[in-house]
Amino acid sequence: MGMLKNMDGMTPSQQTTSESDPILRASNTASAVEDRSENASVTTQPSSTQPSPAQTAAESDICDSALPASGIDPQQLPRPEETEPLKILWQYVIVLSAVHLIALLAFLPFSFSYLFTWSGLILGILGHFTFGMLGITVGYHRLLTHRGFTCPKWLEHTFALLGMCNLQDSPSRWVAIHRMHHQHSDHQPDPHSPLVNFLWGHMGWVVCRHKTLDRTSHYERYVRDLLRDPFYLKLERHGGWFFVFVAHALLIIAAGALVGYAVSGGQFGEALRYAYSYAVWAVAVRTVFVLHGTWAVNSLSHVFGYRNYETRDNSRNNWLVALFSHGEGWHNNHHAEPRSAAHGHRWYEFDMSWRVIQLLEMVGLAKDVVRPKAVTKAKQTAG
Ligand SMILES: [Zn+2]
Ligand SMILES: [Zn+2]
């Protein structure tokens, strides 16, 4: 974990370290991304042969950070300067409120007793694994953000598509924010440290405008490697990720109607009941559950839990978060070795996502799997 005061001013030795990182070996292929910040519809064509700030930080070893060596400041952290809490991102507020309200409908007495279907609930649980685990923890996080393993492009894109079905933004935006978090964890300008306050770290940061996060320069800095792929670039330009979410929701609801129609022998009322049940349980409740699982990694796992490693942030290993987020709660381990595809480092730290990656490796679909150095070293010593 090197010290990096300023991402734009990396020392030569740091640049060398960064260049050894597989992510940083991304070429300088021109990329363009729509600037989603105010007043802007800007495209850029980076062409310099010098390593740009984008190259150095974005794809630098995101294990490295700009954190001071002295550890975290025990004082409360101020909100990042670039945020504007009075400028609410209404599109996020409306969509997130809507999905929460629909999820709450599931627990109204009439809804819970009459409109409930077992298949809707089971589909919701399966969706938690399919969309939440494969899409977010394996796809967005361990594969796209940290490059903890490699896999065929078709599989990578499939994971990304599954990730978009969780209402957690586009792959590039998610990855850029998360790489920024690793670079500055619990220090300025970490976009979502709970040391500001718990609610801010959990979900407040999602709905307040942050001047940096939608700038082209932010994308250039953190996700140039992703934006070289036209698949991710298109998703940025046309808000395609949201349509993926809507399309998957409509498909699930249509499947519910078909199932209801079939099992009732052609009754329209049953088709509607199943469609409603699938919308509530398999889409809304599951989406909200996955959302709070991800947000809890940012909030709970930076406040409550134990530490295996003296990282320069406040990250913790939290078993409850690990349980509900498929292993992501072993967050102190993760901050100690961000590129490792395994987040559970001790025998009792069960990590479901890691088991899936191991399975992918066994069948030849995952390669270059990064294992935790600390655990590997301990095993070698014992052996
Ligand atoms: Zn963290
Ligand atoms: Zn991470």
Structural domain containing residue 353: 85-382
Ligand closest to 297 (CA) is 1
> Is 18 inside a domain boundary?
no
> Is 22 inside a domain boundary?
no
How high is the pLDDT of residue 7?
Answer: 30
Six-digit token string for 118: 């077992």
Residue 319 exposed, middle or buried by CB count within 10 Å (0-12, 13-18, 19+): middle
Average pLDDT on 260-282 reads 94
How high is the pLDDT of residue 325?
Answer: 96
pLDDT at residue 87 is higher than 90: no
How high is the pLDDT of residue 85?
Answer: 74
Distance from the alpha carbon of residue 334 to the mean position of ligand 1, in angstroms: 8
The string of DSSP letters for 148-194 reads -SB--HHHHHHHHHHHHTTSS--HHHHHHHHHHHHHHTTSTT-TT-T
> Is 183 inside a domain boundary?
yes
Distance from the alpha carbon of residue 232 to the mean position of ligand 2, in angstroms: 19
Q: Please confirm whether the linkage preceding 191 is cis (ω < 30° from 0).
A: no
Six-digit token string for 286: 């599951």
How high is the pLDDT of residue 292?
Answer: 97
Instruction: With beta carbons less than 8 A apart as the criterion, state whether 186 and 302 touch.
Output: yes
> Is 1 inside a domain boundary?
no
Query: 10 Å Cβ neighbour count for 261?
Result: 18
Ligand closest to 194 (CA) is 1
Distance from the alpha carbon of residue 297 to the mean position of ligand 1, in angstroms: 7
Ligand closest to 178 (CA) is 2
The size of the chain, in residues, is 383
Distance from the alpha carbon of residue 335 to the mean position of ligand 2, in angstroms: 7
* Tens-digit pLDDT profile for residues 11-33: 233 333 333 333 333 333 333 34
pLDDT at residue 351 is higher than 70: yes
Distance from the alpha carbon of residue 315 to the mean position of ligand 1, in angstroms: 6
Instruction: With beta carbons less than 8 A apart as the criterion, state whether 218 and 135 touch.
Output: no
Distance from the alpha carbon of residue 41 to the mean position of ligand 2, in angstroms: 29
Distance from the alpha carbon of residue 238 to the mean position of ligand 2, in angstroms: 26
Distance from the alpha carbon of residue 174 to the mean position of ligand 1, in angstroms: 13
pLDDT at residue 214 is higher than 60: yes
Ligand closest to 296 (CA) is 1
Distance from the alpha carbon of residue 181 to the mean position of ligand 1, in angstroms: 7
* Tens-digit pLDDT profile for residues 287-343: 999 999 999 999 999 999 999 999 999 999 999 999 999 999 999 999 999 999 999
Ligand closest to 141 (CA) is 2
Instruction: With beta carbons less than 8 A apart as the criterion, state whether 54 and 174 touch.
Output: no
Per-residue exposure over 212-239, b if at least 16 CB sit within 10 Å of its own CB, e if not: bbbbbebbbbbbbbbbebeebbebbeee
Separation of alpha carbons 320 and 330, rounded Å: 10
pLDDT at residue 119 is higher than 60: yes
Average pLDDT on 161-186 reads 95
How high is the pLDDT of residue 348?
Answer: 96
> Is 125 inside a domain boundary?
yes
Distance from the alpha carbon of residue 169 to the mean position of ligand 2, in angstroms: 16
Six-digit token string for 48: 């310099």
Distance from the alpha carbon of residue 42 to the mean position of ligand 1, in angstroms: 31
Dihedral sign (CA 218, 224, 226, 232): positive
Question: Which residues, in sequence order, are bridge partners of residue 88?
Answer: 208
Neighbouring residues of 162: CB distance < 8 A, sequence distance ≥ 6: 130, 131, 134, 135, 139
Total-model pTM: 0.81
Average pLDDT on 41-54 reads 34
pLDDT at residue 41 is higher than 90: no
> Is 179 inside a domain boundary?
yes
Q: Which stretch of 76-85, 162-171, 275-284, 356-365 has the lowest confidence by average pLDDT? A: 76-85
Neighbouring residues of 75: CB distance < 8 A, sequence distance ≥ 6: none
pLDDT at residue 66 is higher than 50: no
Number of separate domains in the chain: 1
Cα dist. 350→99, 234, 317 in Å? 30, 37, 12
Distance from the alpha carbon of residue 338 to the mean position of ligand 2, in angstroms: 6
> Is 12 inside a domain boundary?
no
Where residue 380 falls among pLDDT bands split at 50, 70, 90?
A: low
Short-list 277, 269, 275, 236, CA closest to 255: 275
Instruction: With beta carbons less than 8 A apart as the criterion, state whether 281 and 120 touch.
Output: yes
Distance from the alpha carbon of residue 192 to the mean position of ligand 1, in angstroms: 9
> Is 64 inside a domain boundary?
no
Six-digit token string for 302: 């930076």
Percent of the chain at pLDDT exceeding 70: 78
